[in-house]
Amino acid sequence: MKKIIAFLLSPISMLYGMGVSIHQSLYYSGFFKSVKFSIPIINIGNLSVGGTGKSPHIEYILKMIHDYLEVGVISRGYRRKSSGYILLDPSKTVEDVGDEPIQMARKFPNEHFAVSESRSLGIPKLLSQFPNIQVILMDDGFQHLEVKAGLNILLTEYNNPFFKDFLLPSGRLREWRFGSRRAQIIIVTKCPAEPSEAEEHVWRKNLGIKNNQQLFFSTLEYHTAFNVFDPNEKFHLSPTMHVTLISAVAQSSYLVNYIEDKVATVLDINYEDHHFFSKDEVLSLIEKHKAKNSTNKIILTTEKDATRLALFKHIFEEHNIKLYAIPISVLFYKKEAFEHEIKTYLLDFKV
C-alpha cells in the first residue's frame, strides 16, 4: 500500500494524469535519460495520428541538404510486416520497411534509409554501416524521447490544429498539447493561402508560440502524374477526363478537391491510412474502373499508395490497365526564413 501511495504522489504519476504516457513521464521526470549523438539530429513529427504531411516536409529538407551533406533517415516503418532494424536496399519491399521509407528512398537513392522501432538502437546501427553520415533526419520521432534531437520540428494541420484536438480515443492526439513546447520550429501545414499578419498573430496565440520557437506556414503543391510502372511516362489531367482515385492516406480530401477542379468526374475510393490492399480488392477496383462508360479515363493514386499497389503489377498488366501516381511537394510561404533556420542549426552544431 505504501508503494501505491508513493507512486500516486510521484511526479511520474502526476505527469501521467496530465495526459503524458508512462514512457514519456519517465523521461520528463529524469528517471530515464535521452541518448545524445555527436552529429546533428533533426526530428520531424507531430502530436496527432497522421495527416500533417511529414513525408513531403522530410523530402523538402532532404532536397535542400543532400547535395552538401551525407544524410541518414531513420523511420519506424509504420505498418510494415517486419520488426527490428532494417537497412533499405533495392531488394526491400513495402512489406519489409513500410510505404513512406520506400517512397522517399526511391527519390533519393544516394542517401541512407533505415527503419527501426527504437531510434536509439537504430541510429547507432545506421552510423556503424555508414560512418560518413553527417546528419540524421528522424521521421515521426517526436514522441520517441530516448533520442535527444538537436532540432525538433513539429507539424500541425491547418484544418485540424492540435489546440482544437483531444487525446485518443476521443481525439487524434498521441500526447497532450503541451508537448509542443519541445519543438524549436512549428509548421502549420496544408494552408489554403498565405496568412496575413493578423492571422499569423492569432495562430501564434492559439499555438502558444514561445520566444524560443519559430512559426512557419506551408502548403502542398501537386505535380504531373506519372506511370507507376514506367515513371518516364507523364500524364496531364484534362476537363474531359474521368478519374478513378484510389487512396489510403489520412485527410485525402485535399487531393480529391484538387483533382475535381481539373477533370470531368472523380470516383473516390478511400481506405484507412497505410492500408495494404488484397488481390480481391485490386481486382474489384479494376472492375469499377472498367465499368466507367468512357474511353478517356485513368486510375490515379498517391505516391505513397503506389508503393503498396505496385505489389500487384502483374494484375494491372494482365488487365492492360495503367496505374498513375500524382506527386506532391511542400511550398513554404517564407522559404528563405525556414531554410535559414535549418542551415543555422547545421552550421552552429556543436557536440
Averaged pLDDT, 227-232: 96
C-alpha to C-alpha distance for 185 and 164, rounded to whole angstroms: 19
Per-residue confidence band for 28, with pLDDT thresholds at 50, 70 and 90: low
Per-residue confidence band for 39, with pLDDT thresholds at 50, 70 and 90: very high
DSSP codes, 199-227: HHHHHHHHHT--TT-EEEEEEEEE--EEE
Q: What is the pLDDT of residue 18?
A: 47
Task: Express each pLDDT in 180-229 by its tens digit.
Answer: 999 999 999 999 999 999 999 999 999 999 999 999 999 999 999 999 99
C-alpha to C-alpha distance for 192 and 331, rounded to whole angstroms: 11
Identify the CATH number of the domain defined by range 225-326: 3.40.50
pTM of the model: 0.89
Residue-range domain boundaries for the chain: 35-221+331-348, 225-326
Residue 253 in grid coordinates: 480530401
Averaged pLDDT, 297-321: 96
Residue 146 in grid coordinates: 530516448
- The vertex-119 CA angle with 180 and 15, nearest 5°, equals 40
Q: What is the pLDDT of residue 13?
A: 44
Q: What is the pLDDT of residue 25?
A: 57
Task: Express each pLDDT in 244-279 by its tens digit.
Answer: 999 998 878 899 999 999 999 999 999 998 899 999
Q: What is the pLDDT of residue 261?
A: 94
Q: Is the pLDDT of residue 46 over 60?
A: yes
Cα torsion angle, 100, 106, 111, 113, sign: positive
Task: Express each pLDDT in 123-173 by its tens digit.
Answer: 999 999 999 999 999 998 888 788 999 999 999 999 999 999 998 888 989
**Percent of all residues in the chain with a pLDDT value above 70, rounded to a whole number:** 91
**Percent of all residues in the chain with a pLDDT value above 90, rounded to a whole number:** 77
* 35-221+331-348 shares its CATH topology with 225-326: yes
35-221+331-348: which CATH architecture? Answer: 3-Layer(aba) Sandwich (3.40)
